[in-house]
Amino acid sequence: DAGVIQSPRHEVTEMGQEVTLRCKPISGHNSLFWYRQTMMRGLELLIYFNNNVPIDDSGMPEDRFSAKMPNASFSTLKIQPSEPRDSAVYFCASQTGENEKLFFGSGTQLSVL
């Protein structure tokens, strides 16, 4: 089992550019979470999918952020246009419906200059 796979590991971009983060959850997991981590605010839940359907996106900061899950094995988080305050580590996590353990990916370190 390869675990939750995120790409890229690091992304450096300039303000105003579009950024797309990718996530492949563990096979068989039916829940997927996108979190953002900063020193000041810790881990913040951005959006939650269950069976590929977005259940709650109330944590998405603003309309510049969007997320999709076209199938059970792939999800994207897009920021357009990006701003320096979006700089953070973005984690994807998946979970089965049978227990509450979250399996986190390695994260994407995003730097917006």
Name the residues that contact other proteins, by CB under 8 A. Answer: 31, 33, 35, 40-45, 48, 50, 55-56, 91, 100-102, 104-107
Closer Cβ to other proteins, 20 or 109, answer by number: 109
Closer Cβ to other proteins, 57 or 81, answer by number: 57
Residue 106: CB minimum distance to other proteins, A:
6
Which pair of structure tokens corresponds to residue 61? 């900061």
CA dihedral for 10, 25, 16, 59, sign (positive or negative): negative
Residue 97: CB minimum distance to other proteins, A:
10
Residue 65: CB minimum distance to other proteins, A:
17
Cis peptide upstream of residue 70 (ω within 30 degrees of 0): no
Closer Cβ to other proteins, 14 or 56, answer by number: 56
Closer Cβ to other proteins, 25 or 107, answer by number: 107
Cα angle 34, 39, 45; round to 5:
20
Single-letter amino acid code for the residue at 50: N
Residue 42: CB minimum distance to other proteins, A:
4
Burial of residue 98 (CB within 10 Å: 0-12, 13-18, 19+) is exposed
